[in-house]
Structure 1
Amino acid sequence: MNDTLSHRQLQSLIEVSNVLNSSLDIDTIIDSIMQVTVSVIDAADGGVLFLYDRQQECLIATSTYGFNPQILDQVRLKPGESMTGLAFSARQCLIFENPEEVARTTSTLTPRNLDFMVTSIPNRPQSAICAPIMSKGECIGVITLDSFQKDLHFTQEDIKLVKAISHQAAVAIEKARLYREKQQTVRELEKLNYTITQQNKMLSRSVEIHGHLADLVLRGEGLHAILHYINEVFGYQTFLFDELGELVESASRISEEILPQVKQQVFTPVESLHPTYTLAHIEIHGVSHHFVRLPIGSKPNLLGFLAVLATQTIGEVDIAALEHACTVISLELVKTQAIFDTQQRLKGEFIEDLFAGRVNEGLIQQAKYLNLDPNRNYLVSIIHMDDLDSIEPEQRTSLKRHLIELANRLFIENYPHSLAVTKQDQIVMLLSFSMKGSMPYHTRQITDLAHQFLQEISQKNWNTTVTIGIGRAKSGLIQVGKSAQEAKKGLQFLKSYALKKNIISYSELGVQRLLLQNSEEELLDFINETLGPLLEYETQRKGELLPTLIIYLEHNQNSKETAEALHIHTNTLNYRLKRMEEILGIELMDTEQFLNLHLAVRLYQYLEGKL
Structure 2
Amino acid sequence: MSSDLVAALRAIGEGAGPDPERLRSALPNDPAAADALVELAHRVEGLRQRGAELRAVMSSAKDLLSISDVELLLQRIVDRAHELVGVDIAYLSVYDGAKDELYVRATSGTVSPRFPQMVVPAGVGLASLAVRTRHPQWVEDYALLTSVPHDPTIDAIVGEEQLRSLLGAPLVVGDGVLGVLFAASREPHTFRPEEVSLLTTFAGHAALVLHQAQLLREATDATAESAAHQQRLEWAAALHGELTRLVLEGRGADAVAGVLADALGREVMFVDAEGRSVAHTGPARQLPGSQIRAAISKVDDSGASVMLGSGPVEFVAPVAGSTGRHGALLIARGREPLSDVQRRTIERSAITAALLVVRRDALDDAEERVRGEIADELFVGGALGASALRRARTRGYPVDQAWELVVIVCGAEDRRRLRSALRVRRDWLVALGADGVAVLAPGVDAARHVVDELGEATSAVFSRGATLVDALAAASATWRSARLARGLELPPGIVDAVTLAPYDLLFGDDGQRLSEFVDAELRPLRDWEQTRGTPLVATLAALFDHQWSLVAAARALHVHLNTLKQRVRRLESLLGDDLQRPEARFRLELAVRIEIARGLGGISPMRIVDQ
| TM-score of the superposed pair, with normalisation by structure 2 | 0.68
AA partner of residue 329 (structure 2): L
Residues 548 and 162 (structure 1 numbering): CA distance in 2 closer, same or farther, change over 3 Å? Answer: same
Residues 371 and 122 (structure 1 numbering): CA distance in 2 closer, same or farther, change over 3 Å? Answer: closer
| Residue 60 of structure 1 pairs with residue 88 of structure 2 | no
| Residue 588 of structure 1 pairs with residue 573 of structure 2 | no
| Residue 131 of structure 1 pairs with residue 170 of structure 2 | yes
Residues 216 and 401 (structure 1 numbering): CA distance in 2 closer, same or farther, change over 3 Å? Answer: farther
Q: How far apart are residue 446 of structure 1 and its match?
A: 1.0
Q: Is the 8 A contact 2:266 2:333 kept in 1?
A: yes
Correspondent of 2:531 among 535, 538, 542: 542
Query: For the residues of structure 2 that align with 1:495 and 1:199, how far apart are their CA atoms?
Result: 72
| Residue 242 of structure 1 pairs with residue 284 of structure 2 | no
| Residue 115 of structure 1 pairs with residue 115 of structure 2 | no
Query: For the residues of structure 2 that align with 1:32 and 1:451, how far apart are their CA atoms?
Result: 57
Which residue number in structure 1 is paired with residue 95 of structure 2?
51
Matches within 5 A, 1:64-463: 64-66=106-108, 67=110, 68=112, 70=114, 73=117, 76-79=120-123, 82-95=125-138, 99=140, 105=145, 108-110=148-150, 112=152, 115-125=155-165, 127-131=166-170, 133=172, 137=175, 141-148=179-186, 154-167=195-208, 169=210, 204-250=234-280, 252-254=281-283, 257-258=286-287, 260=289, 263-266=292-295, 269-270=297-298, 272=300, 275-280=303-308, 289-298=312-321, 300-312=323-335, 313-357=337-381, 359=384, 362=387, 366=391, 369-370=394-395, 376=400, 379-382=403-406, 403-404=425-426, 408=427, 420-421=428-429, 423=431, 428-429=439-440, 431=442, 446-447=444-445, 451=448
CA shift digits 1:143-192 (9 cap, x unpaired): 4332458699625233222123335556766998x999xx9xxxxxxxx8
Query: For the residues of structure 2 that align with 1:205 and 1:69, how far apart are their CA atoms?
Result: 43
Matches within 5 A, 1:593-604: 593-601=584-592, 603=594
Query: For the residues of structure 1 that align with 2:316 and 2:292, how far apart are their CA atoms?
Result: 10
Q: How far apart are residue 215 of structure 1 and its match?
A: 2.0
Query: For the residues of structure 1 that align with 2:409 and 2:357, how far apart are their CA atoms?
Result: 24
Query: For the residues of structure 1 that align with 2:410 and 2:308, how far apart are their CA atoms?
Result: 38
Query: For the residues of structure 1 that align with 2:133 and 2:506, how far apart are their CA atoms?
Result: 50
Q: How far apart are residue 351 of structure 1 and its match?
A: 3.7
Q: How far apart are residue 65 of structure 1 and its match?
A: 1.2
Residues 124 and 246 (structure 1 numbering): CA distance in 2 closer, same or farther, change over 3 Å? Answer: same
Query: For the residues of structure 2 that align with 1:113 and 1:543, how far apart are their CA atoms?
Result: 92
Q: How far apart are residue 124 of structure 1 and its match?
A: 0.7
Matches within 5 A, 1:500-539: 501-509=492-500, 511=502, 513=504, 517-535=508-526, 537-538=527-528
Q: Is the 8 A contact 2:171 2:181 kept in 1?
A: yes
Q: Is the 8 A contact 1:292 1:307 kept in 2?
A: yes
Q: How far apart are residue 473 of structure 1 and its match?
A: 1.7
Which residue number in structure 2 is paired with residue 12 of structure 1?
60
Matched residue SS, 2:356? helix
Greater RCO, 1 or 2 (C-alpha within 8 Å, sep 6+): 1
AA partner of residue 10 (structure 1): M
Query: For the residues of structure 2 that align with 1:385 and 1:159, how far apart are their CA atoms?
Result: 39
Matched residue SS, 2:304? coil
Query: For the residues of structure 2 that align with 1:528 and 1:354, how far apart are their CA atoms?
Result: 39
Q: How far apart are residue 122 of structure 1 and its match?
A: 0.9
Which residue number in structure 1 is paired with residue 41 of structure 2?
none
Residues 498 and 51 (structure 1 numbering): CA distance in 2 closer, same or farther, change over 3 Å? Answer: farther
Query: For the residues of structure 2 that align with 1:533 and 1:466, how far apart are their CA atoms?
Result: 32
Query: For the residues of structure 2 that align with 1:510 and 1:85, how far apart are their CA atoms?
Result: 64
Query: For the residues of structure 1 that align with 2:569 and 2:277, how far apart are their CA atoms?
Result: 66
* Structure 1, 196-205 or 213-222: larger mean CA deviation: 196-205
Residues 151 and 426 (structure 1 numbering): CA distance in 2 closer, same or farther, change over 3 Å? Answer: same
Q: How far apart are residue 523 of structure 1 and its match?
A: 2.0
Q: How far apart are residue 274 of structure 1 and its match?
A: 8.0
Query: For the residues of structure 2 that align with 1:543 and 1:103, how far apart are their CA atoms?
Result: 85
Which residue number in structure 1 is paired with residue 44 of structure 2?
none
Query: For the residues of structure 1 that align with 2:409 and 2:330, how far apart are their CA atoms?
Result: 30
CA shift digits 1:343-369 (9 cap, x unpaired): 443344334333323737655654664
Q: Is the 8 A contact 1:280 1:292 kept in 2?
A: yes
Residues 362 and 482 (structure 1 numbering): CA distance in 2 closer, same or farther, change over 3 Å? Answer: closer
| TM-score of the superposed pair, with normalisation by structure 1 | 0.68
* Structure 1, 231-240 or 10-19: larger mean CA deviation: 10-19
Query: For the residues of structure 1 that align with 2:248 and 2:157, how far apart are their CA atoms?
Result: 41
Q: How far apart are residue 519 of structure 1 and its match?
A: 1.8
Q: Is the 8 A contact 1:489 1:516 kept in 2?
A: no
Structure 2: give runs of 5+ residues left out of the alignment. 1-46, 602-611
Q: Is the 8 A contact 2:81 2:90 kept in 1?
A: yes
Residue identity over aligned pairs, in percent, reads 16
Which residue number in structure 2 is paired with residue 186 of structure 1?
none
Q: Is the 8 A contact 1:531 1:600 kept in 2?
A: yes
AA partner of residue 334 (structure 1): V
RMSD over equivalenced CA pairs, Å: 5.0
CA shift digits 1:456-509 (9 cap, x unpaired): x69xxxx999876532326783x5432344555666677666755554432344
